[in-house]
Amino acid sequence: MIDLSTLTLESARKGLDQREFSAVELTTSTLDSINSQEPNLHAFVTVLEDDALDAAKRADQLLKTPAPPDQPLLGIPLSIKDNFSTLNQRTTASSHVLDNYYPPFDATVTRRLKEAGAIIVGKNNMDAWAHGSSTETSDFGPTHNPHDFTKLPGGSSGGSAAAVASHQVIAAIGSETAGSIRQPASWCGVIGFKPTYGRVSRYGVVAMEATLDSPGPLTNNVPDAAILLGILAGHDPLDATTPKVSVPAYRKDLKSNIKGLKIGLPKEYFMPDTQPGINDLVKRAAAVLEKSGATLVEVSMMDPKFSIADYTIIQRSGVSSNLSRYDGVRYGHDRSHFGSEAKRRIMLGTYALSSGFYDAYYRRAQQVRMLLKQDFDRIFTQVDVILAPTSPSTALPIGSTLNHPMFGEIADVLIEGSSLTGHTGVNVPVGTIAGLPVGMQLVANHFAEQTILNLAYAYEQTVNWKDNQL
């Protein structure tokens, strides 16, 4: 048995290349870790045991010599959120509508992982259709937080975050529309990286909102996030929203020298009603970056309350449009299989887009989105990076979303603005309160992923976040 809690993508690579262990041994250990913890966590919708072991055997055939540079993940098991299409493997988006759906193709994210040699061991649980910030709206039941099984993992990529935090897998892939990577990463205490909108292809992802969805990695350290981002990023002819912007060598260029970087702390994001202790821990983390050479400045931005309202209209409208294709004829079940959260969102979106109400709701929301973009453009002429808490609370109890139709919007209040404007952000764990993780988010300008990777790396090199206990 290999102890997965001691492994990173790089140490796994080394272990496989030096034949300290085989891909079959690593995959078997991963499956054992998944199966032994699933009764407590429920981080997976589907575990692909047979397919993973077959892929591991094929990888071992190739690993008689070290992996070639273009296959940095050869023989390494990973899991992906269940909204990424996987060729002939069930892809449900945690909805009963799709519980019999076997895509005849791979998502670009899936294909790139496979081409890099990764072994897909399973599909992670999520809020159904990614509608939520709790993983509690999954039609297959909630995922539990590994730090406290009575708590939510956050969402919608809660299965991916819990699987990484509990070392069921070394790393996982999630997707974010507004907070769905960063917020569960915050609640589970892992790195969650949301790339610039368009940096990673959406092709083959079960769509939520087409102008927001951004796939990205969840990992236990910054170098692993840099490695995965390098594999996933780049133009895809199958997604017209991926521009032809060159992809840096994120891992190779990772450096902890952050001298000269200017970090803005928006006073509106350190809200007075944030759970006590969170603002302090995040400001303490900012001070660490200052000591490492960055400059801190207080800035003022649009009140995040506008992002809640704006996101609610933009997202629901996208949902009603994207979910209109589900008719149960060509694939999946009919519309009677939608859960209550999906129905609620379809209804609001349909109303906001309907004749007579479009101007009052959707068009106004697009205008507010423009104001948000102008606000972020202005800020990024003053500072390189924005630093703030990721979430206003630590993980909340299972059941918190019941009868709270705006739960997700409130939980993601500090993330929605930078999502609507398409910026890149990362959650970095900075401490714990009563044993539950707290995260800070670093947000940078479009395609400046390297800047926040370096800042996160500088912090990680200096501080063991688990030592910061309140």
Partner 1 sequence: MKSTGIGSSDFAKTVTMARLQLDPQESKLIHSQLDEALKAIEVFDELDLKTVEPLAHPSGLTNSTRPDVVTPSFTQEQSLQNAHTTHQGYVMVPGVFEEQDS
Residue 244, token pair as written in the block? 């032809």
Q: Are strands 119-124 and 295-299 parallel, antiparallel or unpaired?
A: unpaired
Distance CA 353, CA 115 (A): 40
Query: Which residue among 53, 225, 348, 438 contacts partner 1 (CB under 8 A)?
Result: 348
**Element spanning 309, H or E:** helix 305-322
Q: Which is nearer to partner 1, 176 or 224 (CB)?
A: 176
Residue 394 CB, nearest distance to partner 1 (Å)? Answer: 24
Cβ atoms < 10 Å from Cβ of 1? 8
Phi/psi at 374 (5° precision):
-60, -35
Q: Which is nearer to partner 1, 407 or 465 (CB)?
A: 407
User: What is the total count of residues that contact partner 1 (CB under 8 A)?
Assistant: 58
Q: Which residues contact 441 (CB under 8 A, 6 or more apart)?
A: 182, 186, 386, 387, 388, 389, 390, 414, 415, 425, 426, 427, 428
Q: Which is nearer to partner 1, 10 or 239 (CB)?
A: 239
Rule CB under 8 A: say whether 252 interacts with partner 1. Answer: no
Residue 468 CB, nearest distance to partner 1 (Å)? Answer: 34
Interactions with partner 1, residue window 267-306 (CB under 8 A):
305-306
Angle value at C-alpha 384, between 182 and 424, nearest 5 degrees: 30
Distance CA 411, CA 427 (A): 14
Among 33, 95, 133, 156, which one carries the catalytic annotation? 156
Axis crossing angle, helix 364-382 with helix 305-322, rounded to the nearest 10: 130
Query: Which residue among 39, 237, 272, 276 contacts partner 1 (CB under 8 A)?
Result: 237
Q: Is 81 one of the catalytic residues? A: yes
- Where do the H-state alpha helices sit in 108-258? 108-115, 158-165, 182-188, 222-232
- Cα–Cα distances in angstroms (integers) from residue 463 to residues 50, 55, 164, 427, 429, in the given order: 40, 37, 20, 15, 10
| Selected range binding partner 1 among 56-64, 219-227, 234-242, 448-456, rule: CB under 8 A | 234-242
Distance CA 94, CA 84 (A): 11
Rule CB under 8 A: say whether 358 interacts with partner 1. Answer: no
Rule CB under 8 A: say whether 140 interacts with partner 1. Answer: no
Rule CB under 8 A: say whether 343 interacts with partner 1. Answer: yes
Among 180, 186, 307, 320, which one carries the catalytic annotation? 180
Rule CB under 8 A: say whether 377 interacts with partner 1. Answer: no
22 preceded by a cis bond (ω within 30 of 0): no
Q: Which residues contact 280 (CB under 8 A, 6 or more apart)?
A: 470
Distance CA 391, CA 340 (A): 25
Rule CB under 8 A: say whether 406 interacts with partner 1. Answer: yes
Q: Is 160 one of the catalytic residues? A: no
Rule CB under 8 A: say whether 312 interacts with partner 1. Answer: yes
Rule CB under 8 A: say whether 361 interacts with partner 1. Answer: yes
Query: Which residue among 230, 422, 425, 437 contacts partner 1 (CB under 8 A)?
Result: 422
Residues written for the chain:
470
Residue 361 CB, nearest distance to partner 1 (Å)? Answer: 7
Q: Is 321 one of the catalytic residues? A: no
Query: Which residue among 28, 156, 183, 320 contacts partner 1 (CB under 8 A)?
Result: 320
Q: Which is nearer to partner 1, 363 or 378 (CB)?
A: 363
Residue 101 CB, nearest distance to partner 1 (Å)? Answer: 6
Query: Which residue among 6, 11, 324, 469 contacts partner 1 (CB under 8 A)?
Result: 324
**Element spanning 60, H or E:** helix 49-62
**Element spanning 442, H or E:** strand 436-444
Rule CB under 8 A: say whether 243 interacts with partner 1. Answer: yes
Residue 325 CB, nearest distance to partner 1 (Å)? Answer: 11
Q: Give the residue numbers annotated as catalytic, written as ranges.
A: 81, 156, 180
Q: Which residues bind partner 1 (CB under 8 A)?
A: 100-102, 104-105, 197-198, 210-211, 237, 240-241, 243, 305-306, 308-309, 312-313, 316, 320, 324, 328-332, 335-336, 338, 340, 343-344, 346-348, 350-351, 354, 360-361, 363-371, 373, 405-406, 409, 420-422, 446
